[in-house]
Structure formats: C-alpha cells, structure tokens
Chains A and B, each alone.
Chain A
Amino acid sequence: MISLPVVLTAAALLFAIGVYGALSQTNAIMVIMGIELMLGAAMLNAVGFMRYAWPDAASGAFFVLVVMTLMAVEATVGFALVIAAFRNRRTAELDDLTELKG
C-alpha cells in the first residue's frame, strides 16, 4: 500500500523535475513553471506527513496554505517581470540576460 516514504519519494521526484526545469529552460516562464513544481513538491511532503505521521498537526496544513500563497504571489511577480523584460527586449529568454556579469 501507500506509506510515507512512497509519498516522500514522489515529492522528491517532483522536486527534482522542478529543479531540472529551472536549470534547463531558457525561457523565464518555463523556469517559473519549474519553481512551481518545486513548491508543489514541498506541499506534497507536508500533506504526506500529516496523513501518515501527524494527523493533528494543523500547522502543517497552514504551512501548505502558505506555500500556495507563495506560489501565487511569486508567479504574479514573475509574470510582471517577464512583461517588463519583454517590453525591453522583446524576449523572455534568460540566455539573453548576460549583460551583468563578472
């Protein structure tokens, strides 16, 4: 059946997929997607823990709420930034953002 390590492993894989996305994508939007997945993995962890270890730990549920909030607000700001970037450069390719370095 299902047990805590199974859930956690699924979350770890989801997190790793998110990491892969953040690392491999050239487009800012795609990277944001990766980050969303990473946050989703964190939520899955918390839910798993509540189910299999701490059924009374409402703070975990609140933690998940917070993560959802973060997902939303970070996406908001991220998109706003992408719009601004696009206005300036007509692209949201991160590989073009190499003026600042050294």
Chain B
Amino acid sequence: MSDLATALVFWPSAAIMLVTGLYVFRTSSMARAGLLLLASLGIEGLIFLSLASEFLGVLQLLMMSGEMVIMVFFMVMFMADPGGLMGMDMTHDKRRSAAVAAGVAAALGAVAVATDWPGAVVTGAAPDIEQIGFEVMGRSMLSFLFAGMTILFAMVGGILLAKHGGRLGIPAPAGEPRDEEGAGAIGSALAGGEAGVEPGVEGEPEHPSHGSHAP
C-alpha cells in the first residue's frame, strides 16, 4: 500500500478509533458502549491493514466481531439498564481518572514523539504471512503451544466460574450426603470469622439471568 493510501486510510481510521474508544466510556448505555468498543477495535483492524499487516488486520476484524457480539449479549443479560434508557451514570471519580489518563497519554505520547526510534525507516513493508508462519511454527512454537494451553484453561476456568449447578450439568444425585465440611470450612475461612455464614454452592441465587429494572 502506498504512503498516500496508507495516510488516507490511517488518519480517518485512527480518528474514528479514538473517538469511538472514548465514547465507549461516555455513553450511559452499556449496549452502546459494547458496540462502540467493537467499532473501535474493528477500526483498529483496518489500521492494521493500512499498515501492511494484512493477516493481523483480518484476524483482528474476525476476532472483534465474534468477541463483541458475545459482549453485547452479556450486557443485555446482566447490566442494569442495558439500553441506557435511564441515563444512569456508570462512572466514578471521573475527574481524577481523566487527569490520570491525560497524564499517561501525555507521558507516553511525549516519549513516543521525542524518541529517535531505531530501525530502518522503510515504507510499505511488514512481515508477510509466510514469515509469520515460519515464526509461529519455528522459533515461537513453544509460545504458540502455550497460547493454546492458555485458551484451553481460560475455557476451563470460565466454565468453572460461570456454570451454575452440578458438575458438568449432571445434577447431584438426590439425597447424597453432602460433605458440608469442605465448602463450609473454606467459606468460614474466607468469611474471616463470621461463622454461620454458609456460602455453600447451594446457597447461590437461583436465577440471576437478568437484571432487575429497579427504579
């Protein structure tokens, strides 16, 4: 891609990416926020494309579309006022957060601009897909495998944390004597002395599947 084309894609994309990114946190609707994030990161994929990283750009677009759809689902499921109808504020400590963020931006931006970055200043090139393939299947094989492990255990962990009810969907046999010592003991350990609190698994709320539209 030529410099001009790059510029033509990059500038507006970058602007949109940043604006949508910022508006993720300025909207009072969680669904909107999710969509904005999707947009922002999707646009980032476009930028990747413009910066000659076609493989990564495409990958980013695909990932984001998948991921963001899931995220929107979540928002609808769990958030108070997912549609932002109530206009409620989801922020705290905004001024100081903004100041800190501005400071971070200033510091990083200043260093980024001021630094005489090393390396060849080239145009129009980036590692091509073959190089990436060699990298993945060669030097970074171990890391790649490890990334796979990470995904596996993120899934396992996610299920562990999120799935409700008996093990792997098999309901506990009725009448089986439950070892209350196990869960109870840990529970009390965490409760830090509040004996009697039995936050056993059975104590979970039954159907937390949607948010309450409390006034």
Contact = CB atoms under 8 A, between A and B. Distances in A.
A15, A55, A58, most chain B CB atoms within 10 A: A58
Interface in B1-53: 3-4, 6-7, 10-11, 14, 17-18, 21-22, 24-25, 30, 33-34, 37, 40-41, 44, 47-48, 51-53
B51 A17 contact: no
Given A14-B21, A53-B121, A59 B135 contact: yes
Contact of A92 (B10, B78, B101, B119): B78
Interface string A38-55: 001001100111111111
Interface in A10-45: 10-21, 23-27, 29-30, 33-34, 36-37, 40, 43-44
Contacts of B11: 2
Given A50-B126, A60-B127, A80-B161, A9 B112 contact: yes
A97 interface: no
A14 B78 contact: no
Given A4-B117, A61-B55, A13 B135 contact: no
Interface residues of A, number: 77
Interface in A47-102: 47-62, 64-66, 68-77, 79-84, 86-88, 90-92, 95
B165 to A, nearest CB: 11
Nearest to B138: A58
Contact of B24 (A21, A82, A83, A84): A21
B30 A29 contact: yes
Contact of B101 (A19, A69, A80, A95): A19
B52 A51 contact: yes
Contact of B6 (A2, A59, A84): A2
A8 to B, nearest CB: 4
A18, A30, A43, A77, most chain B CB atoms within 10 A: A30
A12 B119 contact: no
B93 interface: yes
B105 A73 contact: no
Contacts of B10: 2, 6-7
B174 interface: no
Interface string B81-122: 000000000111110111011101100110011010111111
Interface of A: 1-21, 23-27, 29-30, 33-34, 36-37, 40, 43-44, 47-62, 64-66, 68-77, 79-84, 86-88, 90-92, 95
29 contacts: A5-B117, A12-B105, A13-B105, A16-B102, A16-B105, A16-B108, A17-B18, A20-B22, A20-B98, A23-B97, A25-B90, A30-B33, A33-B71, A37-B40, A44-B44, A52-B119, A52-B122, A53-B119, A54-B119, A59-B135, A61-B55, A61-B135, A71-B63, A73-B151, A79-B158, A81-B161, A82-B74, A83-B161, A91-B80
